[in-house]
Each structure stands twice: as structure tokens, then as C-alpha cells.
A and B are shown apart, each in its own frame.
Chain A
């Protein structure tokens, strides 16, 4: 199975400042056939289901504010919130869909400093 790890476990950022979350996979999730990284990011607020934020490592889901961006390739990925807003307080998960079983990272909790 592909093991996903995330860092940090939690972070607190001032409003308007940048938040950066890292995700690492135990093996590459980059397909050589289509040059795509099979990596998604989700946002989960308390008491709510997860919400898709990014897929293909860097494609923003429709309706997601452009302060959210994804980057990386192979085994190392980053989710960046360029200017943290109060509504961004949540737990963020990365997930690989390169191969079964699908696996999620343990999550990173983002709070306001």
C-alpha cells in the first residue's frame, strides 16, 4: 500500500498570512503514461464531510478560492493557502488515487494564530 504522510500535524497562522502543508507518498504517484500526479487535497471542517480542494496535484476544484494552490510531483507535494481567511480553519488531507487501496494522509489541522 502507498503510505501518505503529512507535515506538520498542525499549524497556526495569522489572518492574511501564508499556510503551507506538506504531503509525502511512500512511492511515486506520477504516471509516466500521462504525466499526471494522482494526488488530491481535501478540506474538512468540524461536523462536515470532506470537500475536494485540489486534484491532479495542482488543479483547483470548481468554486475553490484561488488562494488555494497545489504543487509538487512524484512523492512530494504541497498545499498552500496564500492568505489565510477565518473560513479556512479546518483539517486538510492529502489522498493518492494512483493505485489501490486509495490512501489518505493523517491530516493537518490549520488554525488562526
Chain B
């Protein structure tokens, strides 16, 4: 079955760290760029970060640059998001998402999404 399953979310104090994982199955993982997109409670969608299929290029929103790191392990078909120096405004459901088309480029629109993992930053 073609799917993405996120894990690793939870409650963390401001200034703390958390790592999200996204396990992919049912497609050739390293053929596709991947992204993280978040959604604060009751709010809209915000793209957070993206990485090329082979992991050589990564991209970040200004709001997380320098605090979050995206990576992937193609041997394990898993995408990661290391989040440091967390703030209250990082509270959101974090979705991993797959590029629509496989290529060496980062296309930036997504045809497969996970169910999301909730990250709550609060003391």
C-alpha cells in the first residue's frame, strides 16, 4: 500500500527538541523529493522544509531556518525532521508529503500525505 506514516510528535517545553519521522511504503522512495508541511490548530497550511530525492539539497521556510533540519535515510525509506529551540508558535500538526512526480528536482506540489503528527510546545 502506498502510504506515509508520521511518528515522534508529542508535548515538549519551549526551547526543547523533538525529531519527527515519516515512514514511506509502496513507492520508490529515493525517486521523490519530500517535504514537511504543518498546520497550527484551526489554521491553514504552512510549508516547513523540503529535501531532494537523494538528500543532497534541502530547503527551509524562514520561520524554521537554523532551528530545524530535514534529512532522509533512503535505505530505510524514512524522512526526518529534527526540531530544536522549539517555540510555542511551532505547535501544529506536522504532515510529511511526497512530490507528485519523481525527478532529481524538487517540484513542490504533493500527491501523497501522511495523517500527521501533533507537536505541542508548552510549559
Contacts and interface: CB of A to CB of B under 8 A. Distances in A.
Interface of A: 1, 38, 40, 42, 44, 48-52, 55, 61, 93, 95, 97, 100-107
Given A48-B115, A49-B115, A93-B45, 18 more contacts: A40-B109, A42-B45, A49-B113, A50-B45, A55-B100, A61-B111, A93-B44, A95-B109, A97-B108, A100-B59, A100-B108, A101-B59, A101-B60, A101-B61, A101-B62, A102-B35, A102-B47, A105-B44
Interface of B: 35, 37, 44-47, 50, 59-62, 95, 97, 100, 107-111, 113-116
10 contacts: A40-B109, A48-B115, A50-B45, A50-B95, A52-B111, A61-B100, A61-B111, A97-B107, A102-B35, A104-B46
Contacts of A44: 45
